[in-house]
Structure 1
Amino acid sequence: MSKVKKAIIPAAGLGTRFLPATKAIPKEMLPIVDVPTIQYIVEEAVRSGIYDLIIVTGRNKNSIENHFDYNHELESALEENKKEELLQIVKDVSNLIDIHYVRQKEPLGLGHAVWSARKFIGNEPFAVLLGDMIIDSDVPCLRQLMDVYDAKESSVIALQPVPWSEVHKYGVASGTYLTGRLSSIDQLVEKPQAKAPSNHAIVGRYILTPRIFDLIRGLAPGRGGEIQLTDALQQLTRYEPLFGYLYEGRLYDVGTKLGFLQANVEFALKREDLYSEWRDYLLTLSGELERTANKIGVTG
């Protein structure tokens, strides 16, 4: 049994990249095929062995709570109409895990969102899973980090190499290679605009010790005028080892439009009920792509 039993999912962001859709719908509820994005994140936590989960929400996020709550009217209607398969799907969502909620009253950044959940975490190690990063893997990415924590008993973050041309989009980390996929981290920079210390991006999965809360509390606003978790992690390296782990899996950055579209296309191909028709449709697109490119003046 892992020492890590609690997890935080920050879900208070405004989702401005997906306006106008996110004017009324939280970005975490935008579906990948027919499953809300945040459900994939919750399911990863469950598969990893997390027992308790807290979702940090903001204004207009009530639909997240409703999604994971019981809907007696819907269940009764499905039962009366003998739609047993759909009824089971709805019940399974409600029974995934014990979920608690806390409101981040101001959009002050990821570090502040994590700090908002400090009373729920207490003096325990805990996980953080960002809601706009879906990682598809045989062994859940979070479980991979939990195994590292159980061996090292120190904070660990998930890393992935990205093209140097894209490092400015991520927090990045560098350090000393140890063994296998593991490294000891000594430098972290949030979205570097000048020369980056590495091209190893931090991809939204963390196991942290409760010391991080004291460090966040003393932080001044960083990049973008927000309380950056990356800045707190940099300070954490002064007090305890921080490890980086090159996880195994396929990342979908669904916080971007391209990543969201990629996830929908590829997750549909993984579905037995959709694969054949979806594959056949995709194979018809080559001619349409050429016609569209000519129409909008795109070359290459």
Structure 2
Amino acid sequence: MTKPVRKAIFPVAGLGTRLLPATKTMPKEMLTVVDRPLIQYAVDEAREAGIEQMIFVTGRGKSSLVDYFDMGFELEATMSKAGKSLDPLAPAKTGFGEIVSVRQQQPLGLGHAIWCARHIVGDEPFAVLLPDDLMVGQPGALKQMVDAYATLGGNIVCAQEVPADKTASYGIITPGETRGDATEVRGLVEKPKPEDAPSRLGVVGRYILQPEVMDILGRGEKGAGGEIQLTDGMAKLIGRQPFHALKVDAVRHDCGDKAGFVLANLAIALDRPDLRPMIEDYLASR
């Protein structure tokens, strides 16, 4: 019987250099898509999937991420006194213990960031969500993965076909047998050149992993870019535990990229009945 996935890690210590200068003083995860910060979309997705505890792996200058989910007493008191609805603040409210944080004190890679949360994860399976990969779907991408996990168990990564000339930007899967939307993972390689890529099936920012990966990441072995790569750690679990890649019914927006961030705002706004007419009128006039 598989243990339920109750905890999720959000690696949010990165500097967001692709979005400079906006991210010089503001965490990229706090940049808003329409009217909510990226971190809110990721937390909402995790809640929908049944996650009970959100683990933020933060760094210097990232305190606003945790502050955002605190009760804003002064703001709420002011709005109440003015007779304004508090409904817009509701999504950012959490229960006791739902949000915890830990520091990644050195920028040693995604694998190291995940390892920093090892004591909070303990011996449980856990999810990983990269907030700058905004996944839009109904149900959400992680909910689809959790549902698949109930049948497949083991480790599951979210995957999509990537352009051949973009394989050097992703962890790429050596695929095995495919059943429906799930493909057996027989190998993983981090950021291969197009001529070396075993497929075009790339890992994108959602994972369900078993706690044994923490022991592997704790060895501190460095990979591409001289960093401790999560992909390398996951690759060592292949053959030891079930491992699958799942194509989910969701649209991915790379909000760590300027063009992707703008397109995400446009796509989310077009899905809003209160905003769509104005956006359509503007686009028609261009």
Q: State the TM-score bracket (shorter-chain normalisation).
A: over 0.9
Gaps of 5+ in 2: none
Code of the residue aligned with 2:84 in structure 1: it is K
Match for residue 234 of structure 1?
235
- Separation in structure 1 between the aligned mates of residue 55 and residue 208 of structure 2, nearest angstrom: 15
Code of the residue aligned with 2:190 in structure 1: it is E
Determine if the alignment matches structure 1 residue 164 to structure 2 residue 193.
no
How far the C-alpha of 1:2 sits from its partner, in A, is 7.4
- Separation in structure 2 between the aligned mates of residue 69 and residue 224 of structure 1, nearest angstrom: 36
Superposition CA RMSD, Å = 1.5
Question: Residues 94-131 of structure 1: CA distance to partner in whole angstroms, max 9, x if unpaired?
Answer: 13781101111111111001000011111011100111
- Separation in structure 2 between the aligned mates of residue 19 and residue 192 of structure 1, nearest angstrom: 27
Match for residue 298 of structure 1?
none
Code of the residue aligned with 1:126 in structure 2: it is F
Match for residue 180 of structure 1?
180
Determine if the alignment matches structure 1 residue 99 to structure 2 residue 95.
no
- Separation in structure 2 between the aligned mates of residue 219 and residue 151 of structure 1, nearest angstrom: 32
Aligned pairs for 1:135-284 (under 5 A) are: 135-193=135-193, 194-284=195-285
The alignment-based identity, stated in percent, is: 43
Please say if residues 3 and 124 of structure 2, whose CA atoms lie closer than 8 Å, have aligned partners that are also in contact: no
Determine if the alignment matches structure 1 residue 34 to structure 2 residue 35.
yes
Match for residue 88 of structure 2?
89
Length, aligned pairs only: 283
Gaps of 5+ in 1: 286-300
Code of the residue aligned with 1:89 in structure 2: it is P
How far the C-alpha of 1:52 sits from its partner, in A, is 0.9
Secondary structure, aligned partner of 1:41 = helix
- Separation in structure 1 between the aligned mates of residue 106 and residue 18 of structure 2, nearest angstrom: 19
- Separation in structure 2 between the aligned mates of residue 239 and residue 177 of structure 1, nearest angstrom: 17
> Larger Cα Rg: Structure 1 or Structure 2?
1
- Separation in structure 1 between the aligned mates of residue 202 and residue 95 of structure 2, nearest angstrom: 30
Match for residue 25 of structure 1?
26
Please say if residues 176 and 185 of structure 1, whose CA atoms lie closer than 8 Å, have aligned partners that are also in contact: yes
Code of the residue aligned with 2:170 in structure 1: it is Y
- Separation in structure 2 between the aligned mates of residue 207 and residue 250 of structure 1, nearest angstrom: 19
Question: Residues 200-258 of structure 1: CA distance to partner in whole angstroms, max 9, x if unpaired?
Answer: 11011100000100111124111111100000011111421211111111111111111
Match for residue 109 of structure 2?
109
- 4+ aligned runs moved over 4 Å, structure 1: none
- Separation in structure 1 between the aligned mates of residue 95 and residue 33 of structure 2, nearest angstrom: 18
- Separation in structure 2 between the aligned mates of residue 232 and residue 62 of structure 1, nearest angstrom: 29
Question: Residues 172-191 of structure 1: CA distance to partner in whole angstroms, max 9, x if unpaired?
Answer: 11221231011110111111
Match for residue 13 of structure 1?
14
How far the C-alpha of 1:50 sits from its partner, in A, is 0.7
Question: Residues 8-64 of structure 1: CA distance to partner in whole angstroms, max 9, x if unpaired?
Answer: 110000111111111100011011011101110010001111111101100000111
Higher helix share: 1
Please say if residues 43 and 96 of structure 1, whose CA atoms lie closer than 8 Å, have aligned partners that are also in contact: no
- Separation in structure 2 between the aligned mates of residue 142 and residue 199 of structure 1, nearest angstrom: 22
Please say if residues 2 and 147 of structure 1, whose CA atoms lie closer than 8 Å, have aligned partners that are also in contact: no
Match for residue 134 of structure 1?
134
Question: Residues 65-118 of structure 1: CA distance to partner in whole angstroms, max 9, x if unpaired?
Answer: 11111110000111111111xx22213311378110111111111100100001
